């Protein structure tokens, strides 16, 4: 690392040896429009006032790491535990994109979903986020995290970057948080040091080029590319900026970063493309690198005559769902394999295109299955702000909430019956069906808390 812009060997070594751990999270404003609840959530994590992450409207540092597993707010999607440097994506997006506009955004390497949940928070409600992950099991984890976040304007796909070339000129913004050699996380994960090698840096650099070249056609002319890694290696950072400028004819977009933040501005050797380096001895966060580009030339998206469009739920069936859903007039009710999926009207044409071209793991919010007489509501609906406020709720204490999240019976004495939302401090956690002598716990088995206190 000697000779890299901003590298201070003594301070770098010292901070890695210090054992210091920085914990930060980003709140989910969609779940906490009520500032009272927001305060309650933050106070439950720390009695001391939380320090904001300078480059994010929603990020906070915690003075110590609590047990998130035993916090019902975590399971309700009130926040996402995210490393602070990564939250700089918010600042980069605000400087390079008009976030008031409806945008089509691709997060190409998205699992487990840190950047995607951030992007979903800052884009407008009629924008579309395509959150893609190539590795199948990781795409499942990504879908769970997106469901917990509760957003309707996200599609989770499980595709290789090369499949994106079927969508020429489709996206306004492309975020490539590339797989990398991971040196930026050495402080947090010292075991990763053993897996590092110069050969792996070279392999990662080649893979980063391949990923970018494969997905590049899907970005429209004048579209924005945001590239990031958690590596310090020049081969994966500045050299990729040179490669992007030379091979893809991408225009570097410098950012105006306040000097007080101590982020190091760097430029690539050959093309003077701007990038930003984050060192743990200079900032409160881990190692990170980010750079922005504009696509100079490219083909525009040609909307072809659709072979298939999305299948609308028949009106009669749709009416049965209305008591469950708020803002139904702005939603498209889609029928898919016996289930009902809710999509914001504004994104349905784009989702119809994606359905033809990619493997969709999840789209919008699954409302549930329509059985003969009733809706069997899905967990995604419980986690979504689309759920109607009048749906029956049961307020749980913290102990009861944790029992519910373990998929145990919280032994409630209830006079109500039928489907009810289990909630902790007004934050929905999932469904239960209340029967005369017991409740059936519908919390998804695969999400339940397994860890003992």
The footprint of ligand SAM (CB under 6 A) covers 86, 109-115, 133-135, 138, 161, 177, 179, 207, 211
Q: How many CB atoms lie within 10 A of CB 182?
A: 22
Distances from the Cα of 450 to the Cα of 123, 218, 411, angstroms: 34, 41, 19
CA distance 93 to 211: 21
Alpha helix stretches (DSSP H) within 97-135? 114-122
Cis peptide before 91 (omega within 30 of 0): no
Closest separation in Å from C-beta 418 to ligand SAM: 38
Under 8 Å between Cβ of 442 and 404: no
CA distance 416 to 418: 7
Residue placing its CB nearer to ligand SAM in the complex, 105 or 391: 105
Closest separation in Å from C-beta 189 to ligand SAM: 13
Selecting among 180, 204, 230, 292, the annotated active-site residue is 230
Residue placing its CB nearer to ligand SAM in the complex, 230 or 427: 230
Closest separation in Å from C-beta 278 to ligand SAM: 14
Strand residues in 57-183 grouped as ranges (E):
59-62, 79-81, 104-107, 128-132, 154-157, 171-177
- CA max distance for the chain: 74
- Residue 204 is a catalytic residue: no
DSSP letter at 150 equals: T
Q: Which two tokens stand for residue 336?
A: 């898919």
Q: Assign 102 to helix, strand or coil.
A: coil
Backbone angles phi, psi at 33, to 5 degrees: -65, -25
Please provide the DSSP assignment of 34-69 as one string: SHHHHHHHHHHH-SSPPEEPTT-SSEEEESS---GG
Closest separation in Å from C-beta 110 to ligand SAM: 5
Residue placing its CB nearer to ligand SAM in the complex, 142 or 421: 142
Closest separation in Å from C-beta 387 to ligand SAM: 26
Residue placing its CB nearer to ligand SAM in the complex, 228 or 403: 228
Bridge partner list, 80 = 26
Backbone angles phi, psi at 440, to 5 degrees: -95, 120
Residue placing its CB nearer to ligand SAM in the complex, 289 or 333: 289
Q: Which two tokens stand for residue 414?
A: 């209830």
Closest separation in Å from C-beta 177 to ligand SAM: 4
Residue placing its CB nearer to ligand SAM in the complex, 135 or 312: 135
Catalytic positions, please? 230
């Amino acid at each position: 690392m000697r000779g890299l812009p901003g590298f201070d060997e003594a301070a770098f070594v010292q901070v890695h040896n210090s054992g210091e751990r920085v914990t930060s999270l980003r709140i989910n404003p969609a779940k906490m429009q009520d500032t009272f609840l927001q305060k309650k959530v933050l106070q439950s994590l720390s009695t001391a006032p939380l320090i904001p992450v300078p480059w994010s409207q929603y990020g906070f540092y915690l003075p110590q790491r609590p047990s998130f597993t035993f916090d019902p707010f975590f399971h309700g999607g009130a926040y996402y535990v995210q490393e602070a440097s990564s939250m700089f994506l918010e600042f980069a997006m605000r400087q390079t994109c008009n976030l008031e506009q409806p945008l089509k955004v691709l997060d190409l390497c998205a699992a487990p979903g840190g950047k995607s949940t951030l992007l979903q928070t800052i884009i407008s409600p009629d924008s579309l986020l395509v959150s893609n992950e190539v590795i199948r099991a990781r795409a499942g984890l990504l879908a769970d995290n997106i469901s917990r976040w509760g957003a309707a304007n996200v599609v989770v796909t499980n595709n290789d970057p090369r499949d994106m070339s079927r969508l020429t000129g489709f996206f306004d913004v492309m975020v490539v948080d590339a797989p990398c050699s991971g040196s930026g996380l050495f402080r947090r994960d010292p075991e990763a040091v053993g897996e590092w090698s110069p050969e792996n840096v070279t392999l990662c650099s080649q893979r980063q080029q391949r990923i970018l070249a494969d997905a590049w056609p899907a970005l429209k002319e004048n579209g924005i590319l945001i590239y990031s890694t958690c590596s310090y290696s020049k081969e994966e950072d500045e050299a990729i900026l040179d490669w992007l400028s030379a091979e893809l004819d991408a225009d570097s977009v410098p950012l105006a970063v306040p000097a007080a933040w101590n982020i190091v501005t760097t430029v690539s050797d050959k093309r003077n493309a701007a990038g930003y380096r984050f060192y743990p001895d200079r900032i409160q966060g881990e190692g990170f690198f980010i750079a922005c580009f504009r696509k100079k030339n490219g083909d525009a998206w040609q909307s072809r005559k659709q072979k298939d469009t999305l299948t609308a739920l028949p009106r009669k069936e749709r009416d049965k769902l209305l008591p469950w859903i708020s803002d139904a007039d702005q939603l498209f009710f889609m029928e898919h394999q016996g289930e009902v999926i809710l999509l914001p009207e504004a994104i349905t044409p784009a989702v119809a295109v994606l359905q033809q071209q990619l493997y969709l793991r999840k789209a919008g919010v699954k409302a549930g299955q329509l059985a003969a007489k009733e809706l069997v509501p899905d967990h995604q609906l419980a986690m979504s702000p689309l759920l109607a406020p009048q749906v029956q709720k049961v307020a749980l204490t913290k102990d009861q909430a944790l029992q519910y999240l373990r998929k145990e019976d919280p032994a409630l004495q209830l006079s109500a019956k039928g489907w009810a939302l289990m909630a902790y401090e007004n934050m929905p956690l999932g469904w239960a069906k209340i029967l005369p002598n017991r409740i059936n716990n519908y919390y998804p088995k695969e999400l339940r808390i397994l860890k003992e206190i």
